[in-house]
Structure 1
């Protein structure tokens, strides 16, 4: 029934230690061997998501930057890309500077920070990507950004999110990806829109898609999929809209979902087909 699975990374596919269990890797590879399209849908930059895709044996287009970019490994051109306009990008850089909130930006699949802060260093280490220090983020903003990420305490970001939503309204997509991460992308750049774009390119109906996630930025992903699955560790808002709640990211929740909705139905179909063939042979003998 399901031909495609789109899986979030942090808090979903990855454990709290940022690893993927061997059992989950095996389940994903089995699903791929059955012809299921398995892809990643993450807020991370493409170069970071690509490393994990290679580990899993995924060679289909990846949904990255919160849905702002869809790109296939080995291809220079993105299949889909939506960037934050230069006008909004410059305003956001000014707000971060005036309010002394850490901001890092993404352009041409490069991570930039205005200074080499602890937050920038820790982030780059966690997602295993290099970074560049560019004091003149305002200058970079003239080309627009694929994504902007504010990092601070949850209460600070809660106020900032409300402020940005009032300022930009429908001109930007503003959402939390972690309790201390607030991300800004193009208004058409969310995981749900990107998922439906990719599915359409592959000739897959939304009813044939599974979306799996855990945080606020995964809500559109679950809504767009025919079957929206929330992890056991998901925020309540995501659980409330999910069709099914799996185990946590530290308890092979992705493997459990794949087993239940892909592998077990496939095995049942094979067994049923084998039983029918056996019955036909029996009738021929009679």
Structure 2
């Protein structure tokens, strides 16, 4: 019944220790062997997502940067790309200066900051990526940014999110991916839009897709998929729109979903 599974990384496929459990790895490989396409749909940058895809032996297009880029694991083809415009990129930098909040921008699979601080150091360590410090982020805006990320106190970012919505409206997609992460992308750069685009290219119907996520930035992923699955540790707003709520990320919720909807039904058919 299902031909495509799109799985978020942090809080979903990954445990709190940022690992994929051995049983989940085995299950994903079994699902792929059965003919179902498994991909990642993450806010992480492509180089970070690629490492997990290689661990899973996935050789498929990956949905990265919150849906702003779909690119093959082997990097031979970019399927989809929607950068933030130059105008909005410039305004976001102005916002960060006005509010004195940490901002980092992504361009050509490189993350840039204008200060080497604790926020970027923690991010780089958790995401297992390097970063580049520049004097002026505005010097990079000519081609726009793949994604812009604000990092700060959760309550503070909630107020900033409201202000950004007021400023940009439908000109930008703004969502929290973690309590202290506020992500800004192009309006067409969300996991749901990217997922539908990829499915169409692969000849897969919307009803044949499973989407699994845990946070606010997974809303479009969950509501677009034929079967939207929220993690047991997911935010309540996501659980309220999900078709199914699985176990937590630390209790192998992805494994449970794959067994329930793909592996066990296939075993029954045989």
Q: TM-score, normalised by structure 1?
A: 0.94
Per the alignment, residue 269 of structure 1 pairs with: 269
- 1:167 — aligned with what? 167
Measured in 2, the distance between the counterparts of 1:86 and 1:195 equals: 25
Residue 10 of structure 1 aligns to a residue whose secondary structure is helix
Corresponding residue of 1:157: 157
Task: Summarize deviations over 1:187-232 as a string: whole Å, max 9, x none.
Answer: 0000000000000000000100000000000010011100000000
Q: Give the conservation status (yes or no) of the 8 Å contact 1:230–1:238.
A: yes
The aligned counterpart of 2:106 is 106
Question: Counterpart of 2:26 in 1: which secondary structure?
Answer: helix
2:181 corresponds to:
181
Partner of 1:55: 55
Per-residue deviation at 1:141? 1.6
Q: Which residue of 1 aligns with 2:219?
A: 219
State the alpha-carbon separation in 1 of the partners of residues 229 and 15 from structure 2. Answer: 17
In the TM superposition, structure 1's runs of 4+ consecutive aligned residues that sit over 4 Å from their partners are none
Task: Answer yes or no: is the 8 Å Cα contact 1:90–1:142 preserved in 2.
Answer: no
Separation of aligned partners in 1, 2:17 and 2:134: 30
Aligned to 1:236: 236
In the alignment, which residue of structure 2 is the partner of 1:24? 24
* Matching residue of 1:202: 202
Task: Return the offset for 1:78.
Answer: 1.3
Secondary structure class of the residue paired with 1:145:
coil
Secondary structure at the residue paired with 1:79? strand
Distance 1:262 1:269 in 2: 11
- Return the offset for 1:39: 0.2
Q: Does 1:72 align with 2:72?
A: yes
Query: Which residue does the alignment assign to 2:84?
Result: 84
Distance in 1 (CA, whole Å) between partners of 2:210 and 2:71 is 20
Q: Which residue of 2 aligns with 1:190?
A: 190
Question: What do residues 79-123 of structure 1 show as CA deviations (whole Å, max 9, x unaligned)?
Answer: 100000000000100110121100000001101111101100110
Question: Any unmatched runs of 5+ in structure 2?
Answer: none
Cα distance between partner residues in 1 of 2:62 and 2:74: 12
What aligned pairs does 1:242-257 form with structure 2 within 5 A after superposition? 242-257=242-257
Shift of 1:73: 1.6
Give the aligned partner of residue 4 of structure 1: 4
For this pair of structures, how many residues does the alignment match?
A: 270
- Alpha-carbon distance in 1 for matches of 2:131, 2:158: 27
Bigger shift: residues 137-146 or 100-109: 137-146
Query: Shift of the alpha carbon at 1:142?
Result: 2.2
SS at match of 2:175: strand
SS in 2 for 1:267: helix
**2:14 match:** 14
